[in-house]
Chain A
Amino acid sequence: MNSMFLATYLALKEVIRNRGRFLLVALVIALITLLVLFIAALGEGLANGNRQYVANLDAQLIVFLEKSDYIISSSRLETNTSRSVRRVEGVADAGAIYTSSTEIVSLAEPLKVSMLGVEAGRPGMPVIVEGREFRTGEARETVIDRNVALRSDIQIGDVIEIRSTQGTDDKFFELKVVGLVEGQSYFFQPTIFVPPATWEKIRPQSESELSSDTPFPNIVAVKLQDPAQAEEMTARLIERVPNIEVTDIATTINNIPGYSAQQGTVQTQGVFTLLIGILVIGGFFQIQILQKVPQIGVLKAIGSSNGVVGLSAVIQIIFVTALGVGIGGGLTYLFSLGFPPTIPLVFNGARSLIAVALLLSIGPVGGMVSIIYAVRIEPLKALRLG
C-alpha cells in the first residue's frame, strides 16, 4: 500500500514540477485523440449511411436470387417469392423489398433518395414514428425518413414530387407523405418508402422494362418464429423454395457494394493513427527515461524498490495519456458542434468507445519499453555516474 502512495507521490510531483513538458505530450495525445475519434465517427457515420436500413430490419434472414452472391442490386426474385417463403413452416412473416434510386424535385434543392418498395405491415416496412403506414395497392402515398422531413421542412400531409427517368423520358410523380420513420438510410441516401405496385409504376426503368407491370423484388426479409433456428431455417428455405440463396443480416451488410472496402479503409486509417500515437508516446517516455537514469539510480540506492519505480512510471504514463485523451475528447466535442449535418459523423457509436479504449492504451503500450528500462536500472548507477 505504501508503494502505491510513494509511486503516486513521485509520479505526480514530477508531472506538476515539469508541467510544461508533460502538457505538451498530453496535447500531442489530444491531437491524436481528435484525429482517431473523427476517423471513428466518420467510419460509424459512413457505415450507418450504408447499412442502417438493413441493420434495423425486423428479420433474421434475407432471401436472394440464386447465384446473386448476396448482392442486393444483382438479385431479382420471382414476384411470388415472399408468398412461398411465408408458407414454409418456422417462418413468422416475410416481406419483399424492392430497391431503386430517385430524386425529390419539389424542394428548394433536389434531393437524391433511395426509394424502397415494401409491403405494409410486413418485415421490410420500418417502424412508423409519426403518422401512419401507406395503404396497399397503387396508393400514391409515401413514408419518409424524418431527417429528410426536418431538413426540407416537409410535414405529414404534404405532397412531394419525384422525378424518374423511364425509357428516354423524365417522368414526374406526386406522392402524399403519410408517415415518418427514423434512421433508415440505405446506400448513403435517405429513404422514402412506397407500396410495391406504386414502386413499379414510378421507379426509373429502361425502355424494355416499361412493357411489364409486374414488380420483381430484389430480396425478401424473413422473420423467424425462433431466431435461434437461423441455420436450420436457411437450409429448409433453400430446399423448399426454388432458385434462391439465403443468408443472415451481417453477411448482407458486408456485401452491400463498397461497404467492406470502405470500412476497411477507414479502419486502416484509424489503426495507423493509433500506431503513430504509440510510437510518439513510446519515443517521448524512452528519451525521458534515458535522461533520468542517475536520479532513478539514486531513488533505488536510497531504498526505493523496483516496484515503486516501475509503478511510478506506469502511473505517470496513464495520467498523461488520460489527460491527453480527456482534452482530445473535449476538443472533438467542440469541433463536432461546428460540423455541418451533411458530413456523416456519428460519435455515440460503439466505435467511439472502442477508439477511446484503444487511445487510453497507447500510453501504456508505447511506454512499456521505458517502464521495463526504468525497472532494470541498477542503483549502482547513482555512485558510478556521480
Chain B
Amino acid sequence: MSDIALEVRDLLKTFSLDGTTINAVDHVSFQVKFGEFVALVGPSGSGKTTMLSILAALLTPTSGQVLIDGQDMAQMNEKQRVKLRREKIGFTFQSNNLIPYLSARENVEFMLRLNGKLDHGSRIRSDELLARLGLAERLHNLPAQMSGGQQQRVAIARALIHNPTVVLADEPTASLDTERALQVVQTFANLIHENGRAGIIVTHDLRMCQFVDRVLQMQDGKLVRVYDTKEEIMEFALGTIKH
C-alpha cells in the first residue's frame, strides 16, 4: 500500500452565475500522506469550502481527479460515494455539527453504527476518545447542553472514531476563544499523527497553523503557495498576518 492517502490531480470546479463563469477551484494538485496534517488557508471566496466539498464527495468537480486510498471518486456512483463518506471520510463542520437528539456518546457511536461496527470494544474506544478530548463528564449531554467548544470536540471524536482515511474539518475553531481553539487543534493534530490519518483543516486563524505539517494557501481558486518546512510554517503562523 502506498503512503499517499489523498491525491488531487489538476482539479477544476467552475460555477456559472448569470452568464459569468467562476473558477472556484482552478487546476489544483496536491497529495496528503497518512499521518500528515495539512491546513488550507486563504481569503474569503478563495475556494476552500468548495475544495473541501469535492474532497468529501459532496460536490462533483468539473474536471480533474480525486483519489482516496488510490480509488478514483469520479468512477463511483452515488451509492459508492455514500459508502466512501461513511467508511473513509471523517467530518467536522463549522456549526450544526451534531445530531441534536443524540447525546455526545451517541453522536460518536452513530458513526460506528453507520458502519456496522458498534460493539463492546468500539464502545470503550469511543468513550476513551471522548475522555481524551476532555469530555469524560459530558457523555450523556445533548448538544444543546454543551458549549460550542465541547460540541466541536465531540465532532472531532466522531470524525476519527471509525478510522477513516481522510479527516476533513471546515473551520472547527470558528466559535472558540483562542486558548480553547489552540488546545482543540493541538489535540486534533496529535490524534491525526498518532492514528496515521490524513487530516485537512480549513481555517481563517493562522495561529492554528503551528500544529500542522504543511500549509496550502489558496487565492481565487488557485493554490498560490505551499509552506512545508517547520520554520516557514511557524513564521507564517506566528508572524505578521500576510496573504
Contact = CB atoms under 8 A, between A and B. Distances in A.
A10 B158 CA distance: 16
B142 interface: yes
B56 interface: yes
A386 to B, nearest CB: 4
A60 to B, nearest CB: 60
Interface residues of B, number: 34
Interface stretch (B15-23, B33-41, B83-91): B83-91
Nearest to B143: A295
Given A14-B101, A384-B49, A304 B56 contact: no
Contacts of A318: none
Contacts of B156: none
Contact of B170 (A16, A305, A386): A386
A6 B59 CA distance: 25
Contact of A6 (B97, B100, B113, B170): B113
B74 interface: no
Contacts of B85: 301-303, 379
Interface residues of A, number: 29
A17 B101 contact: yes
B84 to A, nearest CB: 8
B111 A295 contact: no
Contact of A294 (B59, B87, B91, B96): B96
Interface string B116-159: 10000000000000000000000000100000000000000010
A13 B106 contact: yes
B114 interface: yes
A10 B101 CA distance: 9
A8 to B, nearest CB: 11
Contact of B58 (A5, A10, A13, A379): A379
A5 B102 CA distance: 16
A263 B96 CA distance: 53
A18 interface: yes
Given A18-B101, A298-B96, A303-B86, 19 more contacts: A5-B113, A6-B113, A16-B101, A297-B96, A298-B97, A301-B56, A302-B85, A302-B91, A303-B87, A303-B115, A305-B82, A379-B58, A379-B85, A383-B94, A383-B170, A385-B96, A386-B94, A386-B97, A386-B171
Interface of A: 2, 5-6, 9-10, 13-14, 16-18, 294-295, 297-305, 378-380, 382-386
